[in-house]
Amino acid sequence: MSSRADVSPTPVILDVDTGVDDALALLLATRSPAIDLLAVSCVAGNANVDQVVRNTLLVLDTAGAVDVPVARGADRALLDPLRDARHVHGEDGMADLGLPPSTRQPSDLHAVELLRTALEQASRPVTLVPLAPMTNIALLLRTYPHVAQRIERIVFMGGAAAVGNATAAAEFNIWHDPEAAAIVLTSGLPVTMYGLDVFYDVTVDATVAAALSASEDPAAKLAGRLIAHQVQRLGGTAATIGDAGVVAAVIAPDLLTTVSHPVRIELAGTWTRGQTIVDRRAWVGDVVADPHGLPPADVDVALGIDSDRARRLFLDTVAPGLPDPGDST
């Protein structure tokens, strides 16, 4: 039987490195009635953290979400030097669309302080959604360990059970700050890993991106222009919605097929630093006898996604009424 509590929006905090696909995630989160977006924290990743803050404010303004607090966080990884992904996201980290900047200022608080405050003040435990290197989250858990009890679960974009992207072994967000990821994955909190095994599966066609770009709704238009940029960069006919798939999976968890496994982060390795070692050994006897010992909690690893339904959820939410030619149902 459903009750009011069942249908109330899920309180969510996004941690982002906006980022073309982080922008799509922000648009979906702000437009979805199923999500109560409490705050957004920014971290260096796809671009430097100041650029990430500018991009994030611009996206939230475009979506009309002018009251969602945004804070600047870590400007580099815990150990590794500053790096970015301009080869994917453009010089400004968000497709170089030449959009006017937001006139809004970020919070005076550091991201770690905004995260703490938002978690403490939330009326119920919050779903924390890191879409970026997890530097801010690791700093939060180490600085204010008591706020862990205010986190319902962590659903993060990062890692891969199979191949990487930043390196052959490692996915970008984990590769960027492996120590931070290790802190989060040993926190004992319930964690879902939305990694490269599903990340590229939810795509939008170039024709749909063109229709979105022609929309009079500023949020739908921005989504279309961002997707079109990625289609053009890749020289294909469609592009992934990337981090927005994570938000779709928070809205509708049954989109994902997950398997519970121990996951460890490779912190050494000449070629494998930042790899997520998903322990898929079939015999539990080998797993418990492993000399490394067991991590405090298994991770729900996403190994499959209903990509058609996830795409429809994205389009129906960001651009209601837009026909989806990719929809064969």
Residue ranges that bind ligand BDR, judged by CB under 6 A: 19, 21-22, 46, 85, 88, 131-132, 157, 165, 171-173, 242-243
List residues binding Ca ion (CB under 5 A). 17, 19, 22, 131-132, 243
User: Using CB atoms, what's the residue nearest to ligand BDR?
Assistant: 172
Nearer to ligand BDR, 49 or 88 (CB): 88
- Produce one character per residue of 236-275: b if its CB has 16 or more CB atoms within 10 Å, e if not: eebbbbbbbbbbbbbbeeebbebeebbbbbbeeeeebbbb
Nearer to ligand BDR, 15 or 324 (CB): 15
Residue showing tokens 């938002």: 118
CA gap 187, 141 in Å, rounded: 8
Binding partner of residue 122 among Ca ion, ligand BDR, none, CB under 5 to 8 Å per kind? none
Binding partner of residue 137 among Ca ion, ligand BDR, none, CB under 5 to 8 Å per kind? none
Closest approach, Cβ 263 to ligand BDR, in A, equals 16
Nearer to Ca ion, 214 or 234 (CB): 234
Q: Give the up-direction half-sphere exposure of residue 127: CA atoms within 13 A in the CB hemisphere.
A: 20
User: Tokens representing 208?
Assistant: 């749909």
Closest approach, Cβ 199 to ligand BDR, in A, equals 6
User: Tokens representing 113?
Assistant: 């302080």
Binding partner of residue 88 among ligand BDR, Ca ion, none, CB under 5 to 8 Å per kind? ligand BDR
**Cβ–Cβ < 8 Å for 187, 148:** yes
Closest approach, Cβ 224 to ligand BDR, in A, equals 18
Residue 233 CB burial class (10 angstroms; 0-12, 13-18, ≥19): middle
Binding partner of residue 165 among Ca ion, ligand BDR, none, CB under 5 to 8 Å per kind? ligand BDR
Nearer to ligand BDR, 12 or 88 (CB): 88
Nearer to Ca ion, 132 or 322 (CB): 132
* Cα–Cα separations (whole angstroms), residue 77 to 44, 109, 134, 214: 8, 19, 9, 39
**Cβ–Cβ < 8 Å for 127, 152:** yes
Binding partner of residue 315 among ligand BDR, Ca ion, none, CB under 5 to 8 Å per kind? none
Closest approach, Cβ 88 to ligand BDR, in A, equals 6
Residue 91, sorted as left (phi over 0), alpha (psi -120 to 50) or beta, turns out to be alpha
Closest approach, Cβ 52 to ligand BDR, in A, equals 10
Nearer to Ca ion, 172 or 212 (CB): 172
Nearer to ligand BDR, 131 or 161 (CB): 131
**Cβ–Cβ < 8 Å for 317, 28:** yes
First to last CA, the chain: 29
Nearer to ligand BDR, 122 or 134 (CB): 134
CA gap 188, 148 in Å, rounded: 9
Closest approach, Cβ 22 to ligand BDR, in A, equals 5
Binding partner of residue 172 among ligand BDR, Ca ion, none, CB under 5 to 8 Å per kind? ligand BDR
Closest approach, Cβ 192 to ligand BDR, in A, equals 15
Q: Give the up-direction half-sphere exposure of residue 177: CA atoms within 13 A in the CB hemisphere.
A: 28
Pairing of strands 276-278, 151-157: unpaired
Closest approach, Cβ 269 to Ca ion, in A, equals 23
